[in-house]
Amino acid sequence: MKLVGVSGALAGDKTSAVVNDVLVYARRFDSNIKTELIDLRDYEIDFFNGAPLADYNEDTWNVVQKISSADFLIFGTPIYQASISGALKNLFDHFPEYAFKHKVTGMIATGWSDKHFLVMEYHLRSILSYFKGFVPTNNVFVHNSAFEIDSDEIIDERVSERIQQLAEEMVSLQRGVNNRQA
């Protein structure tokens, strides 16, 4: 099984660090799992303008293909203006309905306001559900205070435990989805 992580931040390191942690915990839980991190800072994703996928640049095409061929996915976003990042929303706009059918699609978010933990529930979950992804019961909002200031490593043990629980739930759920289809 391949788990692809997508970090929807173009600015700092925190979101991609947490997405990467999910990938690490998933591999620890099941050593057969292959993982790949798509950090949107490393790609020039074209703005969706209604044209077919073949008309966009190579990065856009590659990222859409990597996500489409993953067995399951973890999406991370920084909270911007009480919503997901524009970079992540633009990426989603390149996908057709049913794009995540039979895929577990996990959510993590980073932000500086505790009050915005529900943004994942109301903005990100609705998008993943529209694409027919299975959204796990666990998700993780990571407040900026949980990070070490210089290294952007998570120093709050409880947050790390929640990330681990999310990764383990995602692997278990995806196994169940695959068994049901077999």
Length of the chain: 182
Separation of alpha carbons 66 and 85, rounded Å: 20
Helical (H) or strand (E) element with 28: helix 14-29
Binding-site string for ligand FMN from residue 29 to residue 58, where x marks contact by CB under 6 A and - marks none: ------------------------------
**What residues from 135 to 154 belong to the interface with ligand FMN (CB under 6 A)?**
144
* Shortest reach from residue 2's CB to ligand FMN, in Å: 24
* Residues 8 to 27 in contact with ligand FMN, rule: CB under 6 A: 9, 11-15
Give the span between the Cα atoms of 46 and 181, in whole angstroms: 34
Maximum C-alpha span of the chain: 47
Q: How far is the CB of 24 from ligand FMN (least distance, A)?
A: 17
Nearest CB to ligand FMN, comparing residues 63 and 171: 63
CA distances from 54 to 41, 45, 46, 88 (A): 22, 13, 12, 20
61 binds ligand FMN (CB under 6 A): no
74-113 mask for ligand FMN (x: CB under 6 A)? ----xxxxx---------------------------xxxx
CB of residue 118 to ligand FMN, shortest distance in Å: 11
| Closest to ligand FMN by CB, 78 or 106 | 78
Alpha helices, DSSP H, located in the chain: 14-29, 58-69, 86-92, 119, 125-130, 157-181
Query: For residues 10 and 97, what is the distance between their CA atoms, to the nearest angstrom?
Result: 25
* Alpha carbons 108 and 178: distance in angstroms, whole number: 23
One of 94, 103, 116, 123 touching ligand FMN (CB under 6 A): 116
- Residues near ligand FMN (CB under 6 A) are 9, 11-15, 78-82, 110-113, 116, 144
